[in-house]
Amino acid sequence: MKYTNLASLYDQLSATTKRLEKTHLLSEFLKGVPEADVPEITLLLQGRIFPAWDDRQIGVASKLVLKAISVASGYPTNKVEELWKKTGDLGETAEQLVGKKTQFTLVSHDLTVKKVFQNLRKLAEITGEGSVDTKVKLISELLTSAKKGETKYLVRAVLEDLRVGVGDGTMRDAIVWAFFSKDAGVTYDEHEKDIVVENREQYNAMVEAVQHAYNLTNDFAEVIRHSLSGNLKKLQALAFSETTPIKVMLYQKVQDIKEAFERVGKPCAFEFKYDGFRLGFHKSGNVLKLYTRRLEDVTKQFPDVAEAVKSHITGKSFVLEGEAVGYDPATKKYLPFQMISQRIKRKYDIDKIAKEFPVEVNVFDIISFEGKNMMSLPFRERRKKMESIVEEIPFVIRCSEMIITDKEKEAQAFYEKALRVGEEGVMAKNLDGIYKPGSRVGYGVKVKPVMETLDLVITGAEWGTGKRSGWLSSFVLACYDKDNDEFVEIGKVGTGIKELEESEGATFDELTKLLKPLIVEEKGREVIVKPKIVLEITFEEIQKSPTYSSGYALRFPRLKNIRDDKPAREASTLDQVEELFRGQRGRG
Ligand code: AMP
């Protein structure tokens, strides 16, 4: 497919904020995508060149793109910079400068999606000496072959900042409309920009089928390829593969034990909610993979966990899930997550750090065993199977601590015990609940102490002065607006961050190092960064505020943790903020 088709879809998508209209545009587009282009196009539609679980990035800074625009357009860099200051957007700047020039170029080859994709991937792979020049050359080549209307999106793709708003929900619905709309009785009313659904039940079942296929594969390209024929059976036959990471099941938060019982029923299981990080243990014959909640492959970083899983879980192939919890090797006391979080990203001295910061694996679910998918079995049966194959060795591997009860007193005592030993709280699980990857379905809930926290994404920061010069020191926080697939600001945080490295807690230096490669724009002391880093923030209260784009502000925000385990789109949502705000008023 020609890139210009994709660019004009981007144009149409950015011209509307209506989700249904976006879905319609996308579904019409998907109908025309040739099978051979599906993988690349699916990623590019989501503004990516690597899948969500792949940590690689293009990592090209704005300055470099600026140079490339200068090369491609023939304008000196200061001219490009001048216009950039005016438009505030490098894509727009390129469109105006390079677009102008290519109007007069007689021979220019049509850019294909494949070519663009290959060059973007190449950009991510170039390292070492001379890499800056090679990158500038690659980008400027793309820009000179671009037609009017393409340049803007090429630049934004290079900067990994596409902003066209295709979230997972929109993609899922567009697949249903594109390939199964006839069966589902869906028609789109162009005039009203709304859909008419003849058979709601059937439609919901289709949406559910597409969502399920996505949950199994975590790959929309795979889902689209299996949907092209319009045969739902083919999609449903999409098999589950042991070595593909799976989105974790999510749990809603409730206030207390009483509400937990109300939500999940009596009796139910209570487990410790460990303050560690989730790992999926995926074994297929001799291959063992460990995936985080962000679906990153961290097998290399945790040889101790891999060894424990291989030696103490019976079975040739399985997928299990658990929490790795750090403990102090001397006192055998559990440690908070931030003490061991550094192990997730560690690339060197792995054995040394594994000894310094050992983890205990607490297995809490089983998803498949010996090729049999166990997701639709009730929790009590999954738990039984899990217990039968895990050989428990204290401080190495064990099944999560659990009780089954219908008594509030007993559950309350268990909850207090969890807090006493330093865990976060408890999970309450419905004994008949099935496993639903990626969704908060109410088969389980979490109970944590009342102190509210929000997981917020850093979208900007400010360079510090005085003692803090050289560091980014104040961080703009945003929550996720799911409907529009964008991050909306809710406040700034500068407290709770350490100046010196201590045994616990994030430092300015650490945050600066994390954010520097993500800077897309600088104006004076202020910087705008790509929304990637998630912080757990405590606060006293949420207030209505015109200052921030979410319409809310936090009172006394304070950094608690860096949530290295959470992708930006799993940050707290605007809906959650609104709900918390309303809850607070009710209490007052
Ligand atoms: P949250 O991050 O607060 O949304 O809670 C969900 C996370 O709790 C999961 O991703 C797991 O990492 C973690 N967790 C800790 N203990 C358990 C448990 N016993 N069962 C399920 N999840 C658990």
- 94-134 pLDDT, tens digit per residue, is 999 986 554 444 455 689 999 999 999 999 888 887 888 99
Decide whether any atom of ligand 1 lies within 6 Å of the 113 Cβ: no
Residues in the chain: 588
pLDDT of residue 420: 87
* Ligand 1, atom 17: closest residue by C-alpha: 273
Counting beta carbons within 10 angstroms of the beta carbon of residue 445, is it exposed (0 to 12), middle (13 to 18) or buried (19 or more)?
Answer: buried
Beta bridge partners of 325: 360
Contact between residue 559 and residue 496 where contact means Cβ atoms under 8 Å apart: yes
Segment 352-380 shows an average pLDDT of 93
274 C-alpha vs ligand 1 centroid, how far in Å?
A: 7
Closest CA to 562 of 529, 532, 534: 534
Counting ligand 1 atoms within 8 A of each CB, the residue from 360, 427, 435, 576 with the most, and so the one to mutate, is 427
Decide whether any atom of ligand 1 lies within 6 Å of the 569 Cβ: no
**Dmax over Cα atoms in the chain, in whole Å?**
81
| DSSP string for 125-150 | H--STTHHHHHHHHHHHHHHHPPTTT
Tokens (6 digits) for 441: 């379905």
Counting residues of the chain whose pLDDT is more than 90, the rounded percentage is: 57
408 C-alpha vs ligand 1 centroid, how far in Å?
A: 22
Q: What are phi and psi of 567, to 5 degrees?
A: -75, 155
> ∠522-524-529 over CA atoms, to 5°?
25
263 C-alpha vs ligand 1 centroid, how far in Å?
A: 17
pLDDT of residue 55: 67
* Ligand 1, atom 10: closest residue by C-alpha: 278
Decide whether any atom of ligand 1 lies within 6 Å of the 379 Cβ: no
Decide whether any atom of ligand 1 lies within 6 Å of the 210 Cβ: no
Q: What are phi and psi of 8, to 5 degrees?
A: -75, -30
Place of tokens 């594994």: 354
Decide whether any atom of ligand 1 lies within 6 Å of the 3 Cβ: no
* Ligand 1, atom 22: closest residue by C-alpha: 273
Beta bridge partners of 428: 270, 445
Helix orientation angle between 38-45 and 113-125, rounded to the nearest 10 degrees: 70
* Ligand 1, atom 23: closest residue by C-alpha: 273
pLDDT of residue 168: 86
Segment 506-511 shows an average pLDDT of 91
Tokens (6 digits) for 193: 């920009």
Closest CA to 155 of 90, 235, 239, 73: 90
pLDDT of residue 536: 94
- Per-residue pLDDT tens digits for 161-195: 887 878 888 999 999 999 998 877 888 888 888 88
Counting ligand 1 atoms within 8 A of each CB, the residue from 248, 278, 338 with the most, and so the one to mutate, is 278
- Residues 384, 364: Cα–Cα separation, whole Å: 11
pLDDT of residue 253: 83
10 C-alpha vs ligand 1 centroid, how far in Å?
A: 37
Place of tokens 């998630």: 534
Closest CA to 136 of 75, 83, 74, 72: 72
Which numbered atom of ligand 1 lies nearest the CA of 273?
16
Separation in Å, CA 471 to CA 456, 466, 507, 520: 20, 10, 10, 17
- Residues 52, 218: Cα–Cα separation, whole Å: 9
CA–centroid distance for 171 within its chain: 15
Radius of gyration over alpha carbons of the chain, in Å? Answer: 25
- Residues 274, 285: Cα–Cα separation, whole Å: 29
pLDDT at 50 over 50: yes
Decide whether any atom of ligand 1 lies within 6 Å of the 253 Cβ: no
Segment 254-268 shows an average pLDDT of 93
Contact between residue 66 and residue 84 where contact means Cβ atoms under 8 Å apart: yes
* Domain annotation for the chain: domains and CATH numbers: 250-447 (3.30.470.30), 453-586 (2.40.50.140)
230 C-alpha vs ligand 1 centroid, how far in Å?
A: 37
85 C-alpha vs ligand 1 centroid, how far in Å?
A: 45
pLDDT of residue 455: 96
- Residues 39, 41: Cα–Cα separation, whole Å: 6
pLDDT at 588 over 70: no
376 C-alpha vs ligand 1 centroid, how far in Å?
A: 20
**Which bin fits 245, alpha (ψ -120 to 50), beta or left (φ > 0)?**
beta
Place of tokens 């700034």: 492
Closest CA to 574 of 452, 457, 492, 488: 488
> In the predicted model, what is the mean pLDDT of the chain?
89
Decide whether any atom of ligand 1 lies within 6 Å of the 323 Cβ: yes
pLDDT of residue 299: 94
Residue with the larger pLDDT of the pair 429 and 160: 429
Counting beta carbons within 10 angstroms of the beta carbon of residue 332, is it exposed (0 to 12), middle (13 to 18) or buried (19 or more)?
Answer: exposed
Closest CA to 312 of 210, 397, 189, 202: 397
- Per-residue pLDDT tens digits for 76-86: 999 999 998 88
Most confident of 177-186, 310-319, 344-353: 310-319
- Residues 166, 76: Cα–Cα separation, whole Å: 35
Pairing assessment for the beta strands 425-429 and 519-523 based on DSSP bridges: unpaired
* Ligand 1, atom 14: closest residue by C-alpha: 273
* Ligand 1, atom 20: closest residue by C-alpha: 364
Counting residues of the chain whose pLDDT is more than 70, the rounded percentage is: 96
Q: Which residues are catalytic?
A: 273
- Say if residue 567 is preceded by a cis peptide, omega within 30 of 0: no
Beta bridge partners of 253: 446
pLDDT of residue 102: 46
Number of Cβ within a 10 Å radius of residue 192:
9
304 C-alpha vs ligand 1 centroid, how far in Å?
A: 21
- Residues 15, 161: Cα–Cα separation, whole Å: 17
> ∠275-486-165 over CA atoms, to 5°?
125
Contact between residue 389 and residue 314 where contact means Cβ atoms under 8 Å apart: yes
Counting beta carbons within 10 angstroms of the beta carbon of residue 176, is it exposed (0 to 12), middle (13 to 18) or buried (19 or more)?
Answer: buried
pLDDT at 375 over 80: yes
Decide whether any atom of ligand 1 lies within 6 Å of the 364 Cβ: yes
Which numbered atom of ligand 1 lies nearest the CA of 402?
19
Number of Cβ within a 10 Å radius of residue 412:
16
Decide whether any atom of ligand 1 lies within 6 Å of the 414 Cβ: no
- Say if residue 267 is preceded by a cis peptide, omega within 30 of 0: yes
248 C-alpha vs ligand 1 centroid, how far in Å?
A: 9
- Per-residue pLDDT tens digits for 538-568: 887 788 888 899 999 998 888 988 998 889 9
- Per-residue pLDDT tens digits for 225-238: 999 999 988 898 88
DSSP state for residue 342 in the 8-state scheme: H
Counting ligand 1 atoms within 8 A of each CB, the residue from 246, 251, 367 with the most, and so the one to mutate, is 251
- Residues 411, 3: Cα–Cα separation, whole Å: 58
Long-range CB pairs of 39-44 (<8 Å, 24+ gap) are 39/221, 40/113, 40/114, 40/117, 41/1, 41/6, 41/113, 42/220, 42/221, 42/224, 43/117, 43/221, 44/6, 44/113, 44/116, 44/117, 44/157
Counting ligand 1 atoms within 8 A of each CB, the residue from 252, 290, 446, 453 with the most, and so the one to mutate, is 446
pLDDT of residue 79: 92
Closest CA to 138 of 194, 217, 211, 72: 72
Decide whether any atom of ligand 1 lies within 6 Å of the 318 Cβ: no
Contact between residue 488 and residue 552 where contact means Cβ atoms under 8 Å apart: no
Which numbered atom of ligand 1 lies nearest the CA of 293?
10
pLDDT of residue 425: 92
Counting beta carbons within 10 angstroms of the beta carbon of residue 279, is it exposed (0 to 12), middle (13 to 18) or buried (19 or more)?
Answer: buried
Counting ligand 1 atoms within 8 A of each CB, the residue from 250, 254, 271, 274 with the most, and so the one to mutate, is 274
